[in-house]
Amino acid sequence: MSEYCVEVEFAEAASATVGEAIVEAFSDLSGVAGVSDHGNATLIATVEARSLAEAGMDIAAHAALRRLPPLLALQVMGADEWEARQGFLPGRVVDALSVTEVAARLGVSRQRVHQLVEAGRIPATRVGHSILLARSDVAAYETARRPMRKVG
């Protein structure tokens, strides 16, 4: 058995009700419900299977048996490949900060942090309903916003 990462986009707009149904249906998996770029409900989960095809078929069958919305898109890949595409390196834990932690560190409001993320000034990742920012990205933003001083 191998680990596979499965990303599913459902053919229904994301809502609290749909998200709860997805989380409940896949409660036996390590997964996160979310929202696609198109506003549809999504699921990202890790599954164990004998093959990539089996992992995809298992997820599709599981969704159908639980009477979830139809699948719009299904992407399956080895867990190592998925982590590499997400920028994770084997054995490396990403040091992430919450919006609240970043706001305190920068001395600004949570709303201002959201504005900086929306403007692309600080990269962020949405995990479920949370937004996480890499400590290194926040440090780079802090360095860039410091005024330059004249020497001499």
Helix, coil or strand: residue 5: strand
pLDDT for 23 equals 79
Class of 2-85 in CATH = alpha beta
pLDDT for 103 equals 94
Please check whether residue 98 is in contact with residue 88, taking contact to mean a CB–CB distance below 8 angstroms. Answer: no
* DSSP letter string, 33-92: EEE-TTSEEEEEEEEEESSHHHHHHHHHHHHHHTTPPPEEEEEEEEHHHHHHHTT--TT-
Domain boundaries, the chain: 2-85, 96-145
Range 96-145: architecture per CATH: Orthogonal Bundle (1.10)
Judged against a pLDDT cut of 60, whether residue 51 lies above it is answered with yes
Judged against a pLDDT cut of 90, whether residue 115 lies above it is answered with yes
Instruction: For residues 62 and 14, give the distance between their C-alpha atoms in angstroms, rounded to a whole number.
Output: 19
**Average pLDDT taken over every residue of the chain:** 83
Q: Comparing 128 with 105, which gets the higher pLDDT?
A: 105
| Model confidence band, residue 24 (pLDDT cutoffs 50, 70, 90) | confident
Instruction: For residues 2 and 116, give the distance between their C-alpha atoms in angstroms, rounded to a whole number.
Output: 39
Instruction: For residues 70 and 37, give the distance between their C-alpha atoms in angstroms, rounded to a whole number.
Output: 17
